[in-house]
Chain A
Amino acid sequence: MASERTSLAHLPGRGEDQGGGGESLPDVRPAQRMRDLLPAVEPDRRLDDWGRSERIETAFDKTLVEFFYRYWFRAEVAGIENVPAEGGALLVSNHSGALPPDAAMIAKAIREEHPAPRPLYLTVEHFFKGYPGFSMLLPKLGGVPAHPANVHRLLFDERRLVLVFPEGRKGTEKLYKDRYRLRRFGRGGFVDAAMRAEAKLVPVCVVGAEEAMPVFAQIEALRKLTGLIYFPITPTFPWLGPLGILGYLPAKFKIRFLEPIDTVELGGPEARHDRALVQVTAQEIRARIQENLDDMLARRRSVWLG
């Protein structure tokens, strides 16, 4: 899956009445009532309202993703019980690789290992909605533009699992020499979003993605030429043409889901206005992911065999 970002910091101003008669909009929309009014699922449809296609996703899952998950990366999963079986939850992970395989592997891990698997939506950068091809494919696979309103609807109203990479582009751009060193976590927009939606935060650590696609350099001139968000040099890209972007090395993947953080206990939707609390929580999550990554790396005997 492609790069994701987390600039969830700007939540749209609510309660600003646009048209009509002044004090018109009911400012209290009881949550359950609004959930009940969500469109019913139409069983004959093969796409959901986000444009996700069960058919295309399954086709990918049974072939490419299955191959990489089981045989190429030989993914090993720990702490799957930390992914809530119900309710909205925001998974927060480290991020790497020019065409990052981590999102697909995390989604696959939940599908394979979780006792009650649920679809995972991944927040992707708005850029991809504007780029031909990506714009068509990513939504089919569960990609959703990282708009705060989208994340809120997914977490709060639809009570789904959402994956976010707070490092965003800073994570996928980083070079091999900086591997497993977490970038900045933005302004903690993801914490804000989870608090507002009363969703759980689940930190996730992924080891192996950095070695699967080491990025040696970023070529600014070629980036501009292609209109992409970056133009990486990897062992296979661009040497083997566009498909070279799928040239992953067979590093051993390890995914660890950490204990969830209940945002309701942190103070719920009101607490998100406390910028300091949001920032501190974001930093804590970042530290926990870094600690666990270091721990996993220390135990790892071989990049390729685990």
Chain B
Amino acid sequence: MARLTGDPAAGAGPEGGLEALGAPVDPGTRRVLITGLSTYWGGRLAQALERFDQVEAIIGVDSSEPTRELERTEFVKVSNQHSLIERIVRAAEIDTVVDTRLIVNSVLASPRDVHENNIIGTLNILAACTGADSPVRKFIFKSSAHWYGSARDDPAFFTEEMRRSQPPGTLLERDIVEAEAAVDDFAHKNRDVAVTVIRFANVLGPDVDTAFTRLFGLPVVPMMLGFDPRLQFIHEDDVVHALEHAAFHLLPGTYNAAADGVLALSEVIGLLGKRPAPVLPPWGAGALAGPLRRLGLRIPDEILGLLRFGRGVDNRLLKATGFEYGFTSRETVIKFGEHLRLDPVIRGREEAYTYEREVEEFLRWSRHVRRREGRDEGVGADREVLGI
């Protein structure tokens, strides 16, 4: 049982055979806090969790306003102050925290902001969940396969207990390693909290904006001369499902999340119907970064390593817990290729969502709002429980 539709607690018991190794379902996931609600992942996860009646309360925190339309998730605008987050956690009796905040693309923010978010932010969230009387029983940390880096002496498939073969060479990777170390430390000090760390491979999909979606969106795809690295991807929907899977199961530990199949970059370019441009010199590609940026092409440092040596991870441990991927790496790339061809046609058709506090509050709390069939009872029931 992988993607949960409907009530995850029903009929999901691990039963003999192969399932016996699957992770146990956790019926205790009722009140969830999502950090980084306004990031793509926070929003997607909140939307996904809203479908589960088991979840009575979804609270999202972030320092900026949500970017995706949410039905019953409550947004609290708060910066990375652990005392404030801690008050929210305790007041709402949060049992499960999903931390989706980590920045895994160094182009998206200045190194300073990345550091602030990835290290200080993580420490703050962890501090907010610490304490003997903390209601938090489960902590899920969205991490990245950048944790492993990309180097010549790497194994072809990283398993979760392997270490990277070189110390982190880029700021982003250093921050990710440090953030995970903080989470690890938290896990050791709070033995009664089930801590799940999921290291996601490079994400592709129609909505998400990652270094690789940008790279593959170019008219020609730059390659490093003389290298054809092995790359692994994961579809954006599978990322959300994996976080969902972690939220509804007990999965203490670290897991890789990457779709089946490791593709050569040349293969990926072929599937996308693009042309390769082996323009990056094998040596001194970093020095070329300046001129390329002026041409409008920013290749993040952590991706330069991947364009040379690539990376594969062993995804079997997460599968052994009962998770099933919706797409293979190849299917992910093909889907993304379809999106690239369709995108110029449909772009701008849908109006972008903007968050207006008054509107959201009206929609959530006004008694004049007619709620859709089906959803109605669930929400009503929630409110009774909450005493609203």
Contact B230 A132 (CB under 8 A): no
Closest chain-B Cβ to A14's Cβ sits at a distance in Å of: 6
User: Considering residues B141, B183, B227, B308, which has the most beta carbons from chain A within 10 angstroms of its beta carbon?
Assistant: B227
Q: How many B residues face the partner with a CB closer than 8 A?
A: 53
A-B CB contacts (within 8 Å), total count: 150
Cα A15 to Cα B162 in complex, Å, equals: 9
CA A49 to CA B263, docked complex, whole Å: 6
Digitize A26-61: 1 where CB-to-B-CB distance is under 8 Å, 0 elsewhere: 100110011011111010111101110100000000
Query: In the complex where A18-B161, A18-B163, A33-B21 touch, is A132 in contact with B282 (Cβ < 8 A)?
Result: yes
A99 to B315, CA, bound (A): 36
Q: Are B154 and A33 in contact (CB under 8 A)?
A: no
Identify the closest chain B residue to A144 (Cβ).
B156
Chain B residues contacting A218 (CB-CB under 8 Å) are none
Q: Within the complex, what minimum Cβ distance (angstroms) separates B319 from chain A? A: 5
**Known A-B contacts A21-B252, A37-B320; A49 and B261 likewise in contact (beta carbons under 8 Å):** yes
Question: Are B330 and A45 touching (Cβ within 8 A)?
Answer: yes
Q: Which of B201-253 contact A (CB under 8 A)?
A: 224-228, 230, 252-253
Task: Determine whether the beta carbon of B157 is less than 8 Å from that of A129.
Answer: no
Stretch of A100-108, A145-153, A246-254, A284-292 that contacts chain B = A145-153
* B85 → chain A closest CB, angstroms: 21
**Cβ proximity bits B292-319 to A, threshold 8 Å, 1 near / 0 not:** 0000000000000000110010111101
B49 interface residue per 8 A CB criterion: no
Structural contact, A20 and B195, CB atoms closer than 8 A: yes
Most buried by A among B156, B225, B319: B156
Given the contacts A25-B254, A47-B267, A150 and B155 also touching, CB distance less than 8 Å: yes
B107 interface contact, C-beta 8 A: no
> Which residues in chain B, 105-157, are within 8 Å of chain A measured between CB atoms?
141, 143, 152-157
B316 with A34: CB separation less than 8 A: yes
Distance A6 CA – B370 CA, assembled complex (angstroms): 71
Q: Which residue of B lies closest to A32 (CB)?
A: B18
**Are B252's CB and A29's CB within 8 A?**
no
Let me know if A149 and B267 touch, CB within 8 A: no
A20 engages B196 (CB within 8 Å): yes
B227 touches A135 (CB 8 A): yes
Instruction: Give the contact stretch, choosing among B30-38, B90-98, B184-192.
Output: B184-192
Chain B positions within 8 Å of A133 at CB level: 226
A41 to chain B, nearest CB (A): 9
Once A21-B194, A139-B230 are accepted as A-B contacts, the answer to whether A49 and B160 lie under 8 Å apart by CB is no
Contact A24 B254 (CB under 8 A): yes
Q: Hey, which chain A residues are within 8 Å of B80, CB to CB? A: none
Given A21-B195, A133-B226, decide whether A47 and B263 contact each other with a Cβ distance below 8 A. yes
- Is B170 engaged at the interface, CB distance under 8 Å to the other chain? no
Dominant SS among interface residues on chain A: loop
Contacts of A40 in B (CB 8 A): 260
Does the CB pair B253–A21 fall under 8 Å?
yes
B221 to chain A, nearest CB (A): 15
Q: Most chain-B CB neighbours within 10 Å: which of A16, A26, A136? A: A136
A22 at the interface (CB under 8 A from B): yes
By a CB distance below 8 angstroms, the chain A residues around B183 are: 19-20
How near does chain A come to B266, taking the closest CB pair, in angstroms? 8
Task: List residues of A (118-144) whose CB comes within 8 Å of B's CBs.
Answer: 126-127, 129-133, 135-136, 139-140, 144
- Cα of A129 to Cα of B196 in the assembled complex, Å: 33
Q: Compute how far the CA of A280 lies from the CA of B315 in the bound complex, rounded to whole angstroms.
A: 37
In the complex, the answer to whether B162 meets A129 with C-beta atoms within 8 Å is no
B180: Cβ under 8 A from any A Cβ: yes
Check A18–B254 contact: CB distance below 8 A.
yes
Q: Which residue of B lies closest to A14 (CB)?
A: B161
Cross-chain contact A39 with B328 (CB below 8 angstroms): yes
B262 touching A30, Cβ below 8 Å:
no
Please name 26 pairs of A and B residues whose Cβ atoms are closer than 8 Å in the assembled complex, sorted by A: A14-B161, A15-B161, A17-B253, A19-B184, A19-B195, A21-B187, A25-B160, A25-B161, A26-B21, A33-B21, A33-B320, A39-B328, A42-B261, A44-B330, A45-B261, A45-B330, A50-B230, A51-B262, A53-B264, A129-B309, A131-B226, A132-B282, A135-B226, A140-B228, A145-B156, A147-B153
Chain B residues in the interface with A (C-beta under 8 A): 18, 21, 141, 143, 152-157, 159-163, 180, 183-184, 187-188, 191, 193-197, 224-228, 230, 252-254, 260-264, 267, 282, 308-309, 312, 314-317, 319-320, 328, 330
Chain A residues near B (Cβ < 8 Å)? 12-26, 29-30, 33-34, 36-40, 42, 44-47, 49-51, 53, 126-127, 129-133, 135-136, 139-140, 144-145, 147-150, 153
Give 9 A-B pairs besides A12-B162, A22-B191, A133-B226 with Cβ atoms closer than 8 angstroms: A19-B160, A19-B253, A20-B195, A21-B253, A29-B320, A49-B261, A53-B264, A147-B153, A149-B157
- Nearest 5 A-B pairs (CB), nearest first? A132-B226, A24-B253, A39-B260, A21-B252, A149-B155
